[in-house]
Amino acid sequence: MARNSKIKCVLDEKALHTVMLDPDKCKGCVTCMKRCPTEAIRVRNGKASVAYERCIGCGECIRLCRYQAKLPSHDSWDTLNDFKYKIALPPPSLYGQFNNLENIDIVLNGLLAIGFDDVFEVGEAAEYITDVTRELMKEKAIKTPIISTACPAIVELIMMKYHNLSGQLLSTLAPVDAAAKLARERAIAKGIPAEDIGVYFISPCPAKVFALKMGLGVNRPYVDRVLSVADAYMRLVPAMDKLTEMKTISKISSTGIHWGISRGEANSTKGLKTIAADGVEQCVKILEALEDGGLQDIEFIELNACIGGCVGGVMNVENPFVARARLHYLLRKQKKERNKIADIEKDKEYFLWEQSPMVKDVFKLDDNRITAMHKLMEIESTLSTLPMVDCGLCGAPSCQAFAEDLVNGVIPAGTKCPRTEDSGGAK
């Protein structure tokens, strides 16, 4: 993982999470803490800290920090020297970063010019996933509404907070995993030794970095290194200007490009009743509605933690609305006939999860039910003494979170709410 000597990782290195904090820049302003969808952030001694076991890598804290105290972690460009044969996996969102782009092949040839030996578009794999999704929907093997699994932050969120919905997750590989799997096979078929092959994903967001390092839905990670779109962009711009020859590389249709934008996946299902939401707050509202038994007339749900879809990832360089407009322009210029799994002689099983993601009981008070009940009663008792205004003065995002921290020993016993102390104990 890329590291800076001044930047300290606030997450467990073993967990491979992807949010870093520069303590010198953090002002303890609580903005990130208040907006974290899993209440993973606390402010202690004037600095933010992250409970890594609750972090879903959505990047919301990075997006909101006005002091740039939080940064995404990813692999360094120097890791290009780790393998003899390097394959780049560019996502559709990458194309939206460039102004006046008329031909995707310019970007792909640029990737070859900056050190890659081969390129496999994630958008091509997304089109195969589209095929598989349609087949699964026809089979009606999954309870509807079916929830897309393309956004790893959403999958993590469901596995942490919405366990009852885990059975409605679409059991397909993420397009990047499918792309990596296919790209590696293609290279081996060319006679490249497996040990020489390095597969590099160019990521728009930290959630994808985390998922690929951990191997979400797969038996082993198919991606070897994860670079940032921002790093690739800085190298691509001068390289694209100097191109003297142009190979025809791109295979994706308008469907594959559309996957980089919110509603792209939902629209590809054709004929189904769908809904799409982007931005983690809106996604939470959809998940809560589902848990309450709503949206039963909907067949397919696409959720993206980033505003606008993958174009809104915090590892991009361009404004998400500008990038979205550029992708809309490009998709009108692409061929309409999308890639199908029959074209590559694969069946749908090839693109399904190799293992299901694990449910995470990170909010469980205790493994022992009796102990958990006692803790719950303590929390309720503590809450009765609190003002219930969720001001954040205590360093927790809500009064509920403060009470839980107190009962669980996260903060010292006897710690008082600053608001009630200042008012002499009155609520």
Three-state SS for 358-423 is CCCCCCCCCCCHHHHHHHHHHHHHHHCCCCCCCCCCCCCCCHHHHHHHHHCCCCCCCCCCHHHHHC
> How much is the pLDDT for 142?
78
- The 8 Å CB, 24+ separation contacts for 41-45 are 41/397, 42/395, 42/396, 42/397, 42/405, 42/410, 43/392, 43/395, 44/395
> How much is the pLDDT for 77?
93
Give the pLDDT of the chain (427 residues) as one tens digit per residue.
333 333 333 334 444 567 888 889 999 999 999 999 999 999 998 999 888 889 999 999 999 999 999 989 899 999 999 999 999 999 999 999 999 999 999 999 999 999 999 999 999 999 999 999 999 988 887 788 999 999 999 999 999 999 999 999 999 999 999 999 999 999 999 999 999 999 999 999 999 998 998 888 898 889 999 999 999 999 999 999 999 999 999 999 999 999 999 999 999 988 889 999 999 999 999 999 999 999 999 999 999 999 999 999 999 999 999 999 999 999 888 888 889 999 999 999 999 999 988 888 888 899 999 999 999 999 999 999 999 999 999 999 999 999 999 999 999 998 999 988 665 554 4
- Show Cβ contacts of residue 138 under 8 Å, excluding neighbours closer than 6 positions: none
Provide the whole-model pTM.
0.90
Q: Which two tokens stand for residue 259?
A: 């996957």
For residues 19 and 73, the answer to whether their CB atoms sit within 8 Å is yes
- Which domains occur in the chain, in start order? 8-72 (3.30.70.20), 77-351 (no CATH), 369-422 (1.10.15)
> How much is the pLDDT for 424?
55
> How much is the pLDDT for 214?
84
Q: Which two tokens stand for residue 408?
A: 């669980």
> How much is the pLDDT for 168?
94
Query: How far apart are the C-alpha atoms of 373 and 390, rounded to whole Å?
Result: 24
SS3 79: helix
For residues 387 and 420, the answer to whether their CB atoms sit within 8 Å is yes
Note if the bond before 145 is cis, omega within 30 degrees: yes
